Chain A
């Protein structure tokens, strides 16, 4: 259910080009719970995967192994941004590149961000230089149900499909609050109020349940359809996405700032039987951190953005820290082609703002805001997000502690391939930047 999935993330990347790598004598900030910091450690990358991670003196390099001497340097998992519009609001930020909001109807669950994504966005390369290896590209927040997101590995590529994170579930982007009611209310169409927004969401979920039921009945009768004597129900791409969200196959990401509205969204989810995987922006999450903890919802937010609209007024610098203290999976997201270049600094700001205010939060947790927690929110936590054997070789070597403002990435590996090398920087990836 549904019978035909929208193109699944079954694409498997050829990893034969990934070199064998030994990174040694580094401080490892692993992102894992059981061993978050290894003071002097080493790791081996093989065939695009992390083969070994250990403490102490590194073994003798094998023949053909690339050795990265990293004494005094730091290694983290590749950073993951759950909230990006790279490629759908590409640089330069002109109308010709404005492909993130299908703002022609408040419910456009049938569209897919991947179909708007421009792999030549000059911001992509810069994000990789900042240590980012995986992003979720979302439709914008003009719509209540804006469409499907796509999870990407930031490889240079001619097409979006080759960047798709193998096997990652798509997301459903929802939005509540000011944006949809402003966009449509100004046109004198629905929704023009928050209650209008919720009513429209309910109607779609009711339709999605009916759609799912129709398909279930048909599938019960005819299985894979080979012997079917009745035509299957007509496909509806929007309802198919919502039905997949009800089944937990598409993860639900809700743009929502205010605490009271997040609680309404949680009630809506309970009413129709789906899970909110992550609230995005969520500047008031600290007010309901007990509920978020209890319901297992993650929070994707900034370190210090606020004040650009009314629903962003109650942001505080300790939001992520308070969430951490309460046991909520906090995530540092960026929503910005500038911010994505220094996610490490943003996490540092949130960490120290918490510590300076006496909140119980530590370095290990702040690393997880950038790695393990976003991996979980995107449903890829078994594949990436920590420095552990068996994970994808998404690895960053930093010249200083990543929570220093002066830290730069030295090496960025994605699937074991060296995609940024500060010691031998290559040309800009984007064709847009060629020959100007």
Chain B
């Protein structure tokens, strides 16, 4: 994305900086970054967005999406987030290779204030590697952002066997790393996965890339905590219906948890201890909570997901952190998630409380550039605003 040459200022808005309570301030943006936050007299030639009575937040981050990896869910040729096939270890599958920055889905979601997404693969035991991108950027800023693992009940076999398989893959990845030459000389037993899959896991073993573990049942949550400790992995728990039962351990291990606050049904036998107020319970126990839509086409509902978490008891400021600073910290996105000097200028200007449906997104900046709020749906609205439609 090409940053504006002209500096831009959002003047006198209620700014949620991500650090302490909101304050009335101006935000100066130049060269794609936030330059200053506070009382600022704009330099000559600055583009001004009047922010009086408006609310500014960092652009929201949806930490678990398939955005850019699917256009229409039921059209297989447009669906690239799941490697499918019989092999359940797909560590070498880089979802970024399938990224479509021109997907019409992206601007539709962005118009509701989401500016960054983790696009994560699905399926299998090790689904592959996900990436992070800004909504509107051609190129993801973090092409390898996380691995994804799925634990839980299986149609065939036991969840315990899946866990054993995962441990074997991690053990062989370490082994292979140590003795690559021996393998190349064909002096090796069969490995638990293809060498390319094992090699792809090296950054995970070093804790350089986090592992997102989808698990719902308490036993699987506990296994995840134990796996993180035993393998010294940087783990992020996702889904996590019964995680409240393990909240103290998760807090002690500083394991962030990604949840969908709408999910309050006993949807399967891994989710029987479901709670309406899961987010609030985890946060109260000191677990870093991240909120997500776990979707592609519903990413735009992220702000309402947060509102519903607040409705169920999560403090408003924590809900905002769950869309900004918490996911940024969990995935190591050091220059996103806050409104502070040096941060990438991903900013949203709202007419009011971002979580309320009555509030409107007025401006979205991605990488310091104001992006259009138009998209395919809006174009259809315009075409059919008057009947008969003014189409071709």
Instruction: Please give the residue numbers on chain A whose beta carbons come within 8 Å of chain B beta carbons, in ascending order.
Output: 91-94, 122-123, 126, 178, 286-287, 289-290, 304-310, 313-318, 322, 337-338, 341-342, 345, 348-349, 351-352, 356-357, 403-408, 432-433, 436
Which A residues touch B269, using CB under 8 A?
92, 94
Supposing A338-B262, A348-B357, A436-B272 touch, asked if A93 and B311 sit within 8 A by C-beta, the answer is no
Supposing A289-B387, A290-B387, A310-B74 touch, asked if A403 and B358 sit within 8 A by C-beta, the answer is yes
- In the complex the two chains form, what is the Cα distance from A299 to B337 in whole Å? 41
B262→A405 contact, CB < 8 A:
no
Residue B281 at the chain A interface, CB threshold 8 Å: no
Which A residues touch B265, using CB under 8 A?
91, 122-123, 126, 337-338
A349→B357 contact, CB < 8 A:
yes
A306→B310 contact, CB < 8 A:
no
- In the complex the two chains form, what is the Cα distance from A352 to B71 in whole Å? 26
Which A residues touch B268, using CB under 8 A?
92-94
Question: Closest CB of chain A to B8's CB: distance in Å?
Answer: 23
Known: A92-B268, A310-B75, A432-B266. 16 other contacts (CB 8 A): A91-B267, A92-B267, A93-B267, A123-B265, A178-B74, A287-B389, A304-B298, A308-B297, A314-B380, A322-B381, A349-B357, A356-B360, A403-B358, A405-B308, A406-B356, A408-B311
Residue B296 at the chain A interface, CB threshold 8 Å: yes
Which A residues touch B389, using CB under 8 A?
287
- In the complex the two chains form, what is the Cα distance from A306 to B271 in whole Å? 27
B357→A306 contact, CB < 8 A:
no
A348→B377 contact, CB < 8 A:
no
Question: Closest CB of chain B to A127's CB: distance in Å?
Answer: 11
In the complex, 13 of the A-B residue pairs with CB atoms within 8 angstroms, ordered by the A residue number, are: A94-B268, A309-B73, A309-B74, A322-B384, A345-B308, A352-B357, A352-B360, A404-B358, A405-B311, A406-B310, A406-B356, A408-B311, A436-B272
Contact pick for B271, options A92, A315, A349, A406, CB 8 Å: A92
Which B residues touch A342, using CB under 8 A?
308
B60-88 residues with Cβ-Cβ distance < 8 A to A are: 71-75
Which B residues touch A337, using CB under 8 A?
265
Task: Classify chain B: how many residues form its interface, as a range.
Answer: 35 or more
- In the complex the two chains form, what is the Cα distance from A327 to B17 in whole Å? 44
Which B residues touch A348, using CB under 8 A?
357-358
B72→A308 contact, CB < 8 A:
yes
Nearest A-chain residue to B358, judged by Cβ: A352
Interface of B is mostly: loop
Interface of A is mostly: loop
Instruction: Please give the residue numbers on chain B whose beta carbons come within 8 Å of chain A beta carbons, in ascending order.
Output: 71-75, 105, 262-269, 271-273, 296-298, 300-301, 304, 307-308, 310-311, 355-358, 360, 377-378, 380-381, 384, 387, 389
Supposing A318-B381, A405-B304 touch, asked if A306 and B311 sit within 8 A by C-beta, the answer is no
Nearest B-chain residue to A341, judged by Cβ: B264
Which B residues touch A309, using CB under 8 A?
72-75
A406→B311 contact, CB < 8 A:
yes
Which A residues touch B308, using CB under 8 A?
342, 345, 405
B307→A405 contact, CB < 8 A:
yes
Which B residues touch A91, using CB under 8 A?
265-267
B263→A338 contact, CB < 8 A:
yes
Which B residues touch A314, using CB under 8 A?
380
Nearest B-chain residue to A347, judged by Cβ: B357
A304→B387 contact, CB < 8 A:
no
A92→B266 contact, CB < 8 A:
yes
A313→B72 contact, CB < 8 A:
yes
- In the complex the two chains form, what is the Cα distance from A337 to B356 in whole Å? 22
Q: Please provide the 10 A-B residue pairs with the shortest distance between their CB atoms, ordered closest to farther.
A: A405-B307, A307-B297, A348-B357, A309-B74, A316-B377, A308-B73, A349-B357, A92-B268, A356-B360, A316-B381
Question: Closest CB of chain B to A109's CB: distance in Å?
Answer: 26
- In the complex the two chains form, what is the Cα distance from A405 to B181 in whole Å? 59
Which B residues touch A289, using CB under 8 A?
387
Contact pick for A405, options B71, B271, B355, B378, CB 8 Å: B355
Question: Closest CB of chain B to A170's CB: distance in Å?
Answer: 27
Which A residues touch B267, using CB under 8 A?
91-93
Question: Closest CB of chain A to B68's CB: distance in Å?
Answer: 13
